[in-house]
Amino acid sequence: MKITSLAGALWAAGFVEHAALLLVLLLRRRWRKFPFFTSFIAFNVVRTIVLFCTYRFGSAKLYAAIYWSADIADLVLQVLVLLEVMRIVLRPAGIWARDARRRFRLLAGAGVLAALVLAYAAHPHVSRTMGAWIEQGEVFSAALGLVLFIALGSATTLLGLVWDRHTAALGTGWAAWVIVNFLVEGAYSYLGSPWHGIDLDTIRIVTYQLVTVYWILMFWRPEQKKRRLSPEQKDHLSRMQKQVEVQAQFLDSGMQK
Q: Which residues contact 149 (CB under 8 A, 6 or more apart)?
A: 82, 171, 174, 175, 178
d(CA 38, CA 166): 13
What is residue 171's predicted lDDT score, i.e. its pLDDT?
86
What is residue 82's predicted lDDT score, i.e. its pLDDT?
82
Given a cut of 60, whether residue 77 has pLDDT beyond it is yes
What is residue 128's predicted lDDT score, i.e. its pLDDT?
53
Domain boundaries, the chain: 5-222
39 by Cβ neighbours in 10 Å (0-12 / 13-18 / 19+) ranks as middle
- Residue 202 or 110, more confident: 202
Mean pLDDT of all residues in 73-96: 78
Q: For residues 179 and 147, is the Cβ–Cβ distance under 8 A?
A: no
What is residue 28's predicted lDDT score, i.e. its pLDDT?
94
Task: Tell me phi and psi for residue 3, to 5 degrees.
Answer: -135, 135
Q: For residues 45 and 22, is the Cβ–Cβ distance under 8 A?
A: yes
Work out the angle at residue 191's Cα, subtended by the Cα atoms of residues 189 and 195, and round it to the nearest 5 degrees: 90
171 residue type, one letter: G
What is residue 80's predicted lDDT score, i.e. its pLDDT?
87
What is residue 220's predicted lDDT score, i.e. its pLDDT?
95
Q: What is the CATH number of domain 5-222?
A: 1.20.1070
Work out the angle at residue 145's Cα, subtended by the Cα atoms of residues 194 and 101, and round it to the nearest 5 degrees: 160
Work out the angle between the directed axes of helices 198-220 and 165-191 (0-180°, nearest 10). 180
d(CA 150, CA 144): 10
DSSP code for 230: P
Q: How far is CA 5 from the centre of its chain?
A: 29
34 by Cβ neighbours in 10 Å (0-12 / 13-18 / 19+) ranks as buried
- Residue 62 or 224, more confident: 62
